[in-house]
Amino acid sequence: MDLKIGIVEDDKRIREGMAILINGSEGFSCNDIFESAEDAIKQLPKLNLDVVLMDIHLPLKTGIECIEELVPICANTQFIMFTSFEDTELVFKALKAGANGYLTKTTQPSKILDALLEVHKGGSPMSSHIARKIVSSFHTTETNSELKKLSEREKEILNLLSKGYRYKEIADQLFLSTETVRTHIRNIYEKLQVNSRTEAINKAYKK
Amino acid sequence: MKLATSQHNLLYQLNGYNGIANAYETLANFDSAKYFHQKSYEIAKLMKAPAKMALTLFNIAICYKQLGEYKNALNQYLLAYQLLEREPSYNPRVHFYIGEMYMRLGNYKDAEYQSRLGIGKCILFNHDYVIHNLYINLAKCFQYDGKTDSAEVTLINTLQKLKKNTDKISVSICLHTLGDIYFDNKKFDKAYKCFIEELALEQEIHNENGIYLTYLNLGYTAAHQNPKNTSLVQSYLDKARNSFSVIQKNPDILIESNLKTAKTYELINKPAQALNYYKFYYALNDSLLNKEKLNQIVDIQTKYETEQKEQQIKSLKQSDLIKTLEIKSQGDTIRNRNLLMITVICFVLFLLVILYFYQQKQNIKKALEKELAIKKAEEKERVRMSKDIHDELGAKLSKINFLSELMAHEKNQNPHITETAETIAETSRQIVTNMRDLIWVLNPENLIAHMREYTSDYLEDFSNDVKLSFPDQPDNVPISNESHREILMTVKECLNNIVKHSQATAVKVTVTIDHKTLSIMIKDNGVGITLEKKAGNGLRNMKTRIESLNGEVHIRSSKEEGTLVVFNIPLHKIIKM
């Protein structure tokens, strides 16, 4: 059973190239490609895809707005932000909106496929920038209460991440397996998204 | 001796004043005479000589008597009596004088008492001379009391006794009095005889007043005897008028004489003359009364004025007190006001000072704010630029990178094309990464964390033996954007050299920060730096970057031990201000 991948990307060359790359790889299939957020919002809920690669800069609605709407109604779909390169602020927003990870467009093709697989398995990549962003957001009033309820272990992991430690190093330092570190990070993502998700659900039901 | 001398001097003075007073008396200026007699009295008082004091008092009394001020005269006599009573120079004559004054004032009871007292004293001290005068006074008192017979008998007895002496003055007085009494008792013939007898005596002793009055009495009596004997009466009146110019003009005498003359003219039926003298009489009487009244008024006025002045003084004192209190209270008010003003001034100054400092602070604040605003604007501009680069250049480079990666990933194609595509992908990725670093410079990041993450990420696939030692609190060191870029580029260059050329199996990266220096040590166990590498651009670039931050680069390299690169960068140069 192949992983069903969707792409939301306004650049024709990239989305087609990406589709060729994915379709050419074993265990992946990509038949659903969208040029805009609007198209994706229309079509995606019916498709029940495994992972969607989402560009941030789209013509009308942004990729972030798009996943805000899709995450609550696509329970089985994971979203990965696919950006030109890492913009901490935007990535942080996307993660809060419900994205499970992000990739830069300079990522090597093999690593893109790895990331798709990892996210599907429940892992969530997090750079030190994002970790620092989350840590510093503890101090702002906007931060949702769920995020403030992070466990000690989660805080520990976040702290190490913010200092530039990698997953493997964290796992060694805390005597955990790398998988456990990944799970903790996934939980941090969940808590990060609670607010926006609730808001999105409320919005959806109102409609 | 001194006392004696002063006493002597005083005596001279006394005599001097006495002489002046007597002179004024002779000139009938009794006011001045009285004044000098009073001066004499003061000296006598100083001399503590009661006899002399009494004498001067007598003199003063005479002056008062002459001025018609009998009450004052009486007081002087009474004073003199008090002084003399226990003195060896006591003379009963004083009783005569006192009695006389009482009579003048119409107090015959006291006059009689004084006369009797005097007569008793005269008998006691054997003073024959004064006793007659006292008898005369007593007779006058009898007469006033209606005891006309007693008066007549007393006077006749006295007259007989007096005639034995040669005291013509006393005899004349006695005759005068007896005549008056006879006249009052309407015994005009006897009265006429008395006055005739008196006239002779008066002429003998040259008593002008006596002569004048006697002529008047004769005329008046004659008019009563026979009003028709006009020529006789007129002759007496003419004689009286002739002697009028030489008499001492005692007001009493004048009043009495005018009245008598008027009545006499009336009796002899010469109403025009009578009217004339009545006019004189009333005028004199009125003036005298007026004088008395005037005196009384003056007295009352003086009294009133004194009282008024006292009240004024009292009120002045009170007003002084009030003023003092007012001044005090005014002083208090002024002091309070001054205090208030000082307080207000101090407060205002204080406010001004505060305002001044506040203004200064505001100015500094404004300047700082302005600077900050400029910095913010600059920062904003940088962010905008970075965004532009990101959106435009970055996106396009990413696309080139992505597509070339896809091309390289393509299977079943010309290996040369694959290689070319890989080169394009590699180059474009490097450009994107470098740009990312540039943009990090614009969007400041944490150097230490970034360095750690990069190192860890970069070396992940290179070796299993990577040891990283970074400071625990990287957030505390705010490093300026430019320095951040230079340091990161240097570290990347260094790591790149290890991965590409060293053939090392173990890498150790240690970063330390103390209060002065940021220190980065990168050690590998590779083959060391070859000579051709030493001359390469890589090392030169590293040195240039670090030295631009006033830092030092130490490189120790050998084939056996590998390479150790140390960067020591002073914090003060790279810390964000």
Residue B442, pLDDT score: 56
Are A88 and A129 contacting, i.e. CB atoms less than 8 angstroms apart?
A: yes
pLDDT digits (tens, 9 = 90+) for B509-565: 999 888 888 899 999 888 887 766 666 677 888 888 888 888 998 888 888 888 899
Q: Smallest CA–CA separation between B534 and chain A, in Å?
A: 31
For residue B162, what are its two tokens?
């007096």
The Cβ of residue B313 has, within 10 Å, a number of other Cβ atoms equal to: 11
How many whole angstroms separate alpha carbon B177 and alpha carbon B157?
A: 13
Region A28-38: mean pLDDT is: 90
Q: Are strands A51-55 and A28-34 parallel, antiparallel or unpaired?
A: unpaired
Q: Which of A33, A21, A30 is nearest to A2 (CA)?
A: A30
How many whole angstroms separate alpha carbon A48 and alpha carbon B103?
A: 165
pLDDT digits (tens, 9 = 90+) for A46-64: 888 899 999 988 888 889 9
Residue B354, pLDDT score: 92
For residue B295, what are its two tokens?
């005196």
Which has the higher per-residue pLDDT, A82 or B5? A82
Q: Smallest CA–CA separation between B461 and chain A, in Å?
A: 12
CB contact under 8 A, A169 and B468: yes
Residue A8, pLDDT score: 93
CB contact under 8 A, B395 and A88: no
CB contact under 8 A, A163 and B398: no
Residues near B180 by Cβ (< 8 Å), separated by ≥ 6?
A: B143, B191, B217
Alpha helix ranges (H) inside B126-207 = 128-144, 148-164, 168-184, 188-205
Closest partner residue to A163 (CB to CB) among B390, B454, B474 is B474
To test the contact with chain A by mutation, choose from B406, B418, B484 the residue with the greatest count of A C-beta atoms within 10 A, namely B406
Are A193 and A95 contacting, i.e. CB atoms less than 8 angstroms apart?
A: yes
For residue B340, what are its two tokens?
């208030």
How many whole angstroms separate alpha carbon B239 and alpha carbon B257?
A: 13
Q: Are strands B562-570 and B552-558 parallel, antiparallel or unpaired?
A: antiparallel
Are B138 and B155 contacting, i.e. CB atoms less than 8 angstroms apart?
A: no
Closest partner residue to A132 (CB to CB) among B411, B443, B449 is B449
C-alpha neighbours within 13 Å on the C-beta side of residue B193: 4
How many whole angstroms separate alpha carbon A179 and alpha carbon B5?
A: 149
Please name the residue of chain A whose CA is at the shortest distance from the CA of residue B450: A164
- pLDDT under 50 in chain B at which residues? 1-2
Q: Smallest CA–CA separation between A207 and chain B, in Å?
A: 34
CB contact under 8 A, A165 and B401: no
Are B401 and B425 contacting, i.e. CB atoms less than 8 angstroms apart?
A: yes
Three-state secondary-structure class, residue A68? helix
Residue A5, pLDDT score: 92
How many whole angstroms separate alpha carbon B486 and alpha carbon B542?
A: 9
Closest partner residue to B409 (CB to CB) among A106, A109, A129 is A109
Q: Which of residues 448-477 of B touch A (CB under 8 A)?
A: 448-457, 460, 468, 470, 472, 474
For chain A, helix (H) and strand (E) counts, in that order, are 10, 5
Residue B5, pLDDT score: 60
Whether pTM exceeds 0.80: no
Residue A52, pLDDT score: 93
Regarding an ipTM greater than 0.85, the answer is no
pLDDT digits (tens, 9 = 90+) for A158-201: 888 888 888 888 888 888 888 888 888 888 888 877 665 566 55
Residue B519, pLDDT score: 92
Residue B2, pLDDT score: 47
Residue B355, pLDDT score: 92
Looking at the predicted structure, is the pLDDT value of residue A75 above 90?
Answer: no
Residues near B559 by Cβ (< 8 Å), separated by ≥ 6?
A: B527, B528
